[in-house]
Amino acid sequence: MLDIETKERSWVLRCKSDALSVQFDQSGKSILCGLRNGSISTVDTRQKQIRGAHNYSTISMPSSVCCLVSLEHWDQYFLASSMDGSIRLYDHRLTHRGPVQSYEGNVNSHTRIDLGVDPSEKVVMSGGEDCYLRLWNIKSGEMLFKERFMDTVPSAVCWPKSGGDACYWQDHCSGAWLGSYEGIFYMDWL
């Protein structure tokens, strides 16, 4: 991290792997770093960095970490996906115990694919290299939906934030937007 006003470095996380995903937690006090080597490092930005010291925690996924999403309502939880298709839910307080929940059935071997979370944080969505879109219940891990409606990987996912002025088009407030090489799609369900 760089202090823009003083131009001084306040944090440097040196690692021998590319950072593929970087995400603040909901408190804004910790940063999650998803690395190509499968590591997820958590840096507490409130702690002063001690030169040469390893003062961050790390957990591992089976493959390169391509997406991290901090949950807003469950502020201690975050989702992580890796390039082998694994999608997992972690609790910051219990990372040493492994994932709290896993979501089975996603297909990926080498593509950076986003995770989407609905505004109520009940559903997680991801595309797969098999061009299927999948939705899971965040709490139970049960797959709720699996459908192929495009011929390219749905790799980008965006769900509008709930309430307020975030909904610009009244007809498109509850669904999700998906992006692929083929185009941008809107998906809604009742």
Rounded Cα–Cα distance for residues 65 and 21 (Å): 7
| Structural domains counted in the chain | 1
* Contact call for residues 109 and 82 (beta carbons, < 8 A): no
pLDDT value at position 9?
A: 59
Structure tokens that stand for 150 in this block: 């495009």
Residue 132's domain comprises 2-187
Q: How far apart are CA 127 and CA 151, in angstroms?
A: 12
pLDDT score at 50: 57
Residue type, 175: G
Contacts within 8 Å (CB) and 24+ apart, 94-97: 95/42, 95/57, 95/59, 96/59
Residue type, 124: V
CATH number for 62: 2.130.10.10
Which stretch of 131-135, 168-172, 183-187 has the lowest confidence by average pLDDT? 168-172
Give the per-residue pLDDT at 25.
82
What's the rounded Cα separation, in Å, for the pair 184 and 156?
Answer: 9
Q: What is the mean pLDDT of residues 8-18?
A: 69
> pTM here?
0.82
Say yes or no to pLDDT of 108 above 70: yes
CA–CA distance, 61 with 35 (Å, rounded to integer): 10
